[in-house]
Structure 1
């Protein structure tokens, strides 16, 4: 299978890129520059392109997002209009170009943000009506709608609504908790927090799975939640302290519980995330490297 991939240089995109290559896919990166260390094709591309010209391919996986560095919610910075224009209009043009390039499947990396951050303590199902309350959530929902409008005979669209992604991406050193672990080890007070998480390899496995199942999923447009753990910082830092040989003086358990996404639909296809065993393996690997993973 020949797959076009956007966002390949990013944290999530690198996980997806490695998995696709490991599965024997031919991958062409769509972006500003190739990603070093991977054997892929390359096609210059930017979400600002008004008329993207893509090479013929079987499928597109869209992971790219124009945003302020290090931010998704709040990633519009000081220019929400440009953030919306690039990510909504650019995504729509990309999907249309992929259709012209012969793609019969498009996988769009969306977000749990489409459900809204106001739904604390609730359970989210793919059948729920999205109610985003951030511009980031609005933009992701608009991308979903653009894809749905193109689906039909000849094109299958798959949306993966992913939660926060942890793990060290292939080719990178830092990870989402690098700063947190450093501050904890230095004795900096840590605020309580609870969040949902999924390892990048498990998210990449979901991408590979839905691509493999394309054509037998039923309706031409499908939505799947991708989440694995409800994780309190207290638990995470206690685990890190044990593995790194540190005394634990961390935060109290968080009193606020975020909403959790049901993942039954994806699991029914055969998706099996790593759970707490994978989390423990990840933290143990950081401790063996002698630090927070940087």
Structure 2
């Protein structure tokens, strides 16, 4: 599909900026769809500005487009938002864009969903696309509902469900972890054994390129994850290695860590620290996708570059 025209939403966000850079470097022409007038991001071959809920704007945005990559939405970092906000931003906006894409005869629709469309903050066993989705919060439910809206269209669609994404400019949980690694103090977290799958933003962009180039129709959801899940101590060790430091981790009974978190109103943080969420990108790997780098190497590089 090199040289074809891609319509990209969310191009000014963390993931969208990397998508724009990757797709442009691979020879795609990328038209960015912007909600408000801003400087057109570097690498874009054009831009359409306006409310995409308006049919005239939608038609102009998708005219001549070969594929849509939809990465805009309300992020999980804003988990305190009302459920209606997630539904409007993540479900209804996706449904309207998909309907317009179908009218414009767009060849493929790539939706940036989330592993939270499939599961909550942890899972007792490794996940794959074959597992039934059971989201546990408004964000996850809104992403799953968007996937279901795509499934009833006639589009050749694919929903990518990335696990925790890291990379330059990251926010949310990974930014908090990077901040923790930068502290000069020993951390009493060596006893935590829960494993979590990660994926770099570069590998996620590579997954988008893979599904754009795959022979179709696809019409399914695919997990995006590195094959090497890490414990929290392993993540911190990799980050601190990138900073030129030793791990600086001390053992501490896990129940005591949980008690401290609950006493300070950080019970959700404890669940994320102690639980496991391992996912397998079996479908993507079958299409030929491979991660850009191992998670340990990517985390070290992130810290070394300053995040």
Shorter-chain TM-score tier = 0.7 to 0.9
Matches within 5 A, 1:214-293: 216-217=215-216, 219-228=217-226, 229-250=228-249, 252=251, 256-276=274-294, 279-284=296-301, 286-287=303-304, 289=305, 293=306
1:37 to 39, 42, 45: 42
Tell me the secondary structure at the aligned position of residue 123 of structure 1: coil
Question: Following the alignment from structure 1 to structure 2, what is the Cα–Cα distance between the partners of residues 195 and 119?
Answer: 9
Question: Following the alignment from structure 2 to structure 1, what is the Cα–Cα distance between the partners of residues 100 and 43?
Answer: 25
CA pair 41-235 structure 1, distance change in 2 beyond 3 A? same
Could you say which residue in structure 1 is the equivalent of 2:259?
A: none
Could you say which residue in structure 2 is the equivalent of 1:7?
A: 10
Verify the 8 A CA contact 2:14 2:170 in the aligned structure 1: no
Could you say which residue in structure 2 is the equivalent of 1:181?
A: 178
The structure with the largest helix share of the pair is 2
Question: Following the alignment from structure 2 to structure 1, what is the Cα–Cα distance between the partners of residues 84 and 171?
Answer: 31
Question: Following the alignment from structure 2 to structure 1, what is the Cα–Cα distance between the partners of residues 119 and 43?
Answer: 36
* 2:69 is equivalent to residue 61 of structure 1: yes
Could you say which residue in structure 1 is the equivalent of 2:79?
A: 75
CA pair 35-165 structure 1, distance change in 2 beyond 3 A? farther
Tell me the secondary structure at the aligned position of residue 266 of structure 1: helix
Which one is further off, 110-119 or 263-272?
110-119
How far apart are 1:90 and its partner, in Å? 1.4
Could you say which residue in structure 2 is the equivalent of 1:195?
A: 196
Tell me the secondary structure at the aligned position of residue 210 of structure 2: helix
The structure with the largest strand share of the pair is 1
Tell me the secondary structure at the aligned position of residue 28 of structure 1: strand
* 2:172 is equivalent to residue 160 of structure 1: no
Question: Following the alignment from structure 1 to structure 2, what is the Cα–Cα distance between the partners of residues 122 and 201?
Answer: 26
How far apart are 1:210 and its partner, in Å? 0.8
CA pair 247-135 structure 1, distance change in 2 beyond 3 A? same
Verify the 8 A CA contact 1:50 1:93 in the aligned structure 2: no
Which one is further off, 199-208 or 113-122?
113-122
Q: CA RMSD in A?
A: 2.8
* 2:152 is equivalent to residue 149 of structure 1: yes
Tell me the secondary structure at the aligned position of residue 8 of structure 1: coil
Could you say which residue in structure 2 is the equivalent of 1:211?
A: 212
TM-score, normalised to structure 2, is 0.79
Verify the 8 A CA contact 1:73 1:134 in the aligned structure 2: no
Question: Following the alignment from structure 2 to structure 1, what is the Cα–Cα distance between the partners of residues 174 and 54?
Answer: 37
2:21 to 18, 21, 31: 18
CA pair 186-149 structure 1, distance change in 2 beyond 3 A? same
Report how many residues are paired: 274
Question: Following the alignment from structure 1 to structure 2, what is the Cα–Cα distance between the partners of residues 173 and 128?
Answer: 28
TM-score, normalised to structure 1, is 0.82
Question: Following the alignment from structure 1 to structure 2, what is the Cα–Cα distance between the partners of residues 146 and 178?
Answer: 32
1:104 to 76, 86, 107: 107
Segments of 5+ residues of structure 2 without an aligned counterpart are 255-272
2:31 to 28, 43, 52: 28
Tell me the secondary structure at the aligned position of residue 23 of structure 2: helix
